[in-house]
Structure 1
Amino acid sequence: MSTRPTAEQRREQVLEAAIHEFAEHGFHATRTAAIARRAGISQPYIYALFPDKKALFLAALEAVRAQVRSAFAAAWRPAATPEGSLAVLGRNYRQALANPDALRCQMQGHAASADPEIRSAVREGYMEVFDLVSKLTGADRGAVTRFMAYGNLLNLGAVLDLPPDYLRID
């Protein structure tokens, strides 16, 4: 006998489907019907879990950010220097790049930032990750800024499938 998924399990299924659909089509072009189909639920059930498409998009962006925070937290090990700590976080982040949907969804958040609510959520999320990296590594603001900038370059390289020579900054 199979058990029915809980509302929380369904919510996770919807978020996974939403990340994929938003990654492919962006905030404005994604249809909740496509998300529901991918999640294997009815479209009205999406609205039982999320009040509207924007709330679902914001939840998808938060889920992606949670993956980044988790990758950094899992990677953190005390290092002799802040630079060494940043290097450890960077290596683990490269593993997170294996999920191109998450990266594209994150970029779709940037693209949809003309909407003030989305822009605010993306900005707050960026600052949250920036502050986490600062706290974990003890690196100064300039080093964390360079780390985050290189992370954005890696994101771009991953979604465009750029050759490694285009991602070197040395």
Structure 2
Amino acid sequence: MTANTTGRRPTAEERRDQVLEAAIHEFAEYGYHATKTAGIAKRAGISQPYIYALFDDKKALFLATLERVRDQIRDAFSAAYRPADSPQQALLNMGANYRKWLANPAATRCQLQGHAASADPEIQAFMRTGYIDMFDYIVKLTGADRPQVAQFMAIGNLLNLGAMLELPEEYIRPAINL
């Protein structure tokens, strides 16, 4: 293992973070099934066996990676929320912050790879639970009603698609201005 810039060996938690960040990029590019843990290890600067000291298997790593992406989205929403805002304004602020989050295409692609891998029942359950939890979190945080949050989530999915396909703004803007 290599030392970090302070001259000390990284902790297991620091290595875990490095692996998760590397995994976001690898899973984003190759998807769940085609990603090789050797590629993740190389990107993270560790040996492949060390991945299995941190994660039980590739699926556990994939789910932890998706959880990392989900946490980033939740953090973006939380950072945009101001208690004095109306539910509609809170959703607008959160949407603006989400668009900034979309600037990291690897994280967005990784999230979409989670949906693509949902033929696996465990991954499907994880993605479904995450969607429901995020939906309920937004309702609770903003005070918006369920139809408003459903529309917000639908627009978020359009933004994901727009970011990945590099759609011109005129194909996205009409939905944002509903």
TM-score by length of 1: 0.97
CA distance in 2, matches of 1:158, 1:151: 10
Per the alignment, residue 140 of structure 1 pairs with 145
Report percent identity of matched pairs. Answer: 68
Moved more, 107-116 or 125-134: 125-134
CA distance in 2, matches of 1:106, 1:139: 24
Quote how far apart the aligned CAs of 1:81 are.
Answer: 2.2
Per the alignment, residue 72 of structure 2 pairs with 67
Partner secondary structure for residue 78 of structure 1: coil
Per the alignment, residue 87 of structure 1 pairs with 92
CA distance in 1, matches of 2:164, 2:105: 6
Answer whether contact 2:25 2:106 (CA < 8 A) is retained.
yes
1:126-155 CA-partner distances (Å, limit 9, x unpaired): 111111111111111000000000001001
Tell me: CA distance 1:43–1:76, structure 2 relative to 1, closer, same or farther (3 Å): same
1:14 aligns with 2:19: yes
Partner secondary structure for residue 33 of structure 1: helix
Q: Which runs of 5+ in 2 are unaligned?
A: 1-5
1:43 aligns with 2:48: yes
> Among residues 2, 5, 8, which one is paired with 2:7 in the alignment?
2
Per the alignment, residue 158 of structure 1 pairs with 163
Quote how far apart the aligned CAs of 1:58 are.
Answer: 0.2
Moved more, 77-86 or 34-43: 77-86
Moved more, 91-100 or 76-85: 76-85
Quote how far apart the aligned CAs of 1:159 are.
Answer: 1.1
Quote how far apart the aligned CAs of 1:78 are.
Answer: 2.4
Partner secondary structure for residue 9 of structure 2: coil
CA distance in 2, matches of 1:5, 1:164: 43
Per the alignment, residue 3 of structure 2 pairs with none
1:23 aligns with 2:28: yes
> Among residues 102, 113, 129, which one is paired with 1:124 in the alignment?
129
TM-score by length of 2: 0.93
- RCO comparison, higher one (Cα < 8 Å, 6+): 1
1:58 aligns with 2:63: yes
Segments ≥4 residues shifted beyond 6 Å: none
Aligned pairs, how many? 170
CA distance in 2, matches of 1:69, 1:165: 27
CA distance in 1, matches of 2:59, 2:25: 15
Q: Which runs of 5+ in 1 are unaligned?
A: none
RMSD after superposition = 1.0
